[in-house]
Structure 1
């Protein structure tokens, strides 16, 4: 029954996602070597909201997901990394869930397969919640490497 109530809570709060923007995203890049770079994606989170981690337990909220568009000019090296964050019991989902407050920095190492300038593009899917509602979100990113 509690999972049904949580689902109803999420569905009713989805309508607010067009109005509320509890997370602002920004990007940067750091050169590691001649061919390797760290793509850095920053989340600035409004007070009283939290952003969920890359991995959450089954039956929990939607995780934060970064989707890099396929491009023959680079490859991903390893997995996206995230900060330590907080893990706490969430009464809505009745699970211990990792989340971030105020800010979070995500990093993905890439290796270039070319020396020409390129743009790395992708999408971010995420969920944020406060004590009253949850908001699902979506954003695009584009990062130039010269």
Structure 2
């Protein structure tokens, strides 16, 4: 009987460890003021696990999900421009999607500017991203952010 209980516990352990989602990209999202007092920059820095690549902000349709800033709340502020790759991305043909893609390895920094019209201001949203290695791809994943500017 003990053998069956031990075997069942082992099988459950294997099932649960296999079911855990791989998260190969860790984000650090900050906001910093720019000169002039009304402009701010949201800076998102990604640490990418070895063997994985994070896709860039400019990709053609029909391939992986591009990394993007998505704003949900813009109180007393508005988007200014578009997301910018601070870390230059690389370009190469991707075998998985059979197309040329832009991507990052190891680290990436992406920023987006906002314009504050009145204080206090609030900005919230998420960065959507996707990554792959030679064996698998993560589903599109969101990294949420929220800042109050006093």
Q: TM-score, normalised by structure 1?
A: 0.81
Q: TM-score, normalised by structure 2?
A: 0.79
User: Whose radius of gyration is greater, 1 or 2?
Assistant: 2
Contact 2:24 / 2:48 at 8 angstroms: preserved in 1? yes
**What is the RMSD of the two structures over their aligned residues, measured on CA atoms?**
1.8
> Which ranges of 4 or more aligned residues in structure 1 deviate by more than 3 Å?
none
Count of matched residue positions in the alignment of Structure 1 and Structure 2: 130
Secondary structure at the counterpart of residue 69 of structure 1: strand
Give deviations 1:51-73, integer Å, cap 9, x for gaps: 00112122211111211113231
**5+ long unaligned stretches in structure 1:** 1-15
**5+ long unaligned stretches in structure 2:** 1-17
Which of 70, 73, 77 lines up with 2:76 in the alignment? 73
Aligned position for 2:106: 102
Aligned position for 2:147: 143
RCO comparison, higher one (Cα < 8 Å, 6+): 1
Partners in 2 of 1:132 and 1:121 — Cα distance?
Answer: 34
